C-alpha cells in the first residue's frame, strides 16, 4: 500500500502505540485523523504531528460503538477525503479471572473485537469498489499465544486475530489489504497500569509478559506497522521471542499448554518473578 497521500485513521491514538503509529504514518506523508475517547489526548498527539509540519486532525469518539465509528469515518472523509487506511488500535485489558460479569465481557469484546468488525463493515465495501484500502488490526501476541490471568483479554485478542485473518482471506483478491500486528510487552501506560494493578491476576498477566520477551518502545511497533502496510504483509510480530513461542505452540500444542501451566505456577510461587524461567525454558515434565 502506498502511504504518501493516503488518508489514515488511528483509534486509541492519544498515547502509546496509537500515538506512535499516528506519528509514523504522518511522517510518511499520510494525512492522519487521530481518534481517542479522551479529547485532550487526541489533541496532544495531533499537536505533536502538526508542530513538525505534517497533516493531522483530532476527533473524540468511542471507537467501540457504531455511532462513534460512523462519526469518526465521516469526520475523516470530510476533513481529508475517503479513508484509505484504518488502524484499529484502541484496546482495553478488561477484568481478570473467570467470574466476570456479562457487562465486563461485553465491554472487553466491544472494544477489542467488535470495534474492528464494525469499522470493517463500514469501510470494506467502499474499498472493494475502489479496489484499494488497508485495514490494520493492532491485536496482541496474546491473540496467538494466550494471556495468563486475563480470560476476556485472551479471548478478545484471539478473536481479533481470527477476524483479521478472515478479512484478509475474504477480500484480499478485491484489493483490500489487512495487517495484524501482534506485539508482546510494549512500554505504554497500559502496561504500566497493569503492572501496578491491585488485582493479582492482572499483575500476574503483566509480569508474564515482561518476563517472556523484551519490552519494546511504541515506536518500534509503529515502524513494524508501517512496514507491514507498505509491504502488504498480514502478520507482524515486532518481538522475535513472540515468533519463537508461536512456532513452539504450533509444533506441539499439548506441550505448549503444559509449559504455560508450569510458567503460571512459577510466577505465582515467586510472587510474579519467575526466577529466570520463561515459557521457552520450562521443558521438563511437572513433578508432583
Residues recognised as catalytic: 153
- Length of the chain, please? 288
172 closest CA partner among 124, 230, 113 = 124
Radius of gyration of the chain (CA): 19
Find the DSSP H helices in the chain. Answer: 16-27, 39-50, 66-79, 102-109, 115-130, 151-171, 189-195, 200-210, 218-231, 240-251, 253-269
DSSP assignment of 250-262 equals HH-HHHHHHHHHH
CB-hemisphere CA count at 13 Å for 285?
2
Amino acid at each position: 500500500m502506498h502511504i504518501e497521500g493516503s488518508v489514515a485513521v488511528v483509534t486509541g491514538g492519544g498515547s502509546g502505540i496509537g500515538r506512535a503509529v499516528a506519528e509514523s504514518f504522518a511522517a510518511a506523508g499520510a494525512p492522519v485523523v487521530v481518534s481517542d475517547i479522551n479529547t485532550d489526548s487526541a489533541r496532544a498527539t495531533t499537536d505533536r504531528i502538526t508542530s513538525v509540519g505534517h497533516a493531522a486532525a483530532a476527533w473524540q469518539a468511542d471507537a467501540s460503538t457504531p455511532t462513534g465509528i460512523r462519526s469518526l469515518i465521516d469526520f475523516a472523509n470530510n476533513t481529508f477525503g475517503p479513508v484509505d487506511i484504518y488502524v484499529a488500535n484502541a484496546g482495553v485489558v478488561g477484568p481478570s479471572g473467570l467470574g466476570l460479569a456479562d457487562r465486563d465481557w461485553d465491554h472487553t469484546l466491544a472494544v477489542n473485537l467488535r470495534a474492528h468488525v464494525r469499522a470493517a463493515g463500514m469501510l470494506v465495501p467502499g474499498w472493494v469498489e475502489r479496489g484499494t484500502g488497508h485495514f490494520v488490526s493492532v491485536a496482541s501476541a496474546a491473540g496467538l499465544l494466550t494471556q495468563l490471568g486475563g480470560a476476556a483479554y485472551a479471548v478478545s485478542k484471539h478473536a481479533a486475530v481470527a477476524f483479521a485473518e478472515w478479512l484478509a482471506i475474504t477480500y484480499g483478491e478485491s484489493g483490500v489489504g489487512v495487517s495484524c500486528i501482534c506485539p508482546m510487552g510494549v512500554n505504554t501506560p497500559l502496561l504500566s497500569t497493569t503492572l501496578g494493578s491491585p488485582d493479582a491476576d492482572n499483575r500476574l498477566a503483566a509480569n508474564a509478559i515482561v518476563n517472556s520477551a523484551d519490552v519494546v518502545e511504541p515506536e518500534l511497533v509503529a515502524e513494524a506497522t508501517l512496514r507491514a502496510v507498505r509491504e502488504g504483509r498480514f502478520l507482524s510480530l515486532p518481538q522475535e521471542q513472540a515468533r519463537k513461542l508461536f512456532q513452539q505452540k504450533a509444533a506441539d500444542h499439548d506441550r505448549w499448554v503444559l509449559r504455560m501451566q508450569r510458567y503460571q505456577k512459577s510466577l505465582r510461587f515467586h510472587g510474579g518473578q519467575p526466577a529466570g524461567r520463561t515459557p521457552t525454558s520450562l521443558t521438563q515434565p511437572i513433578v508432583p
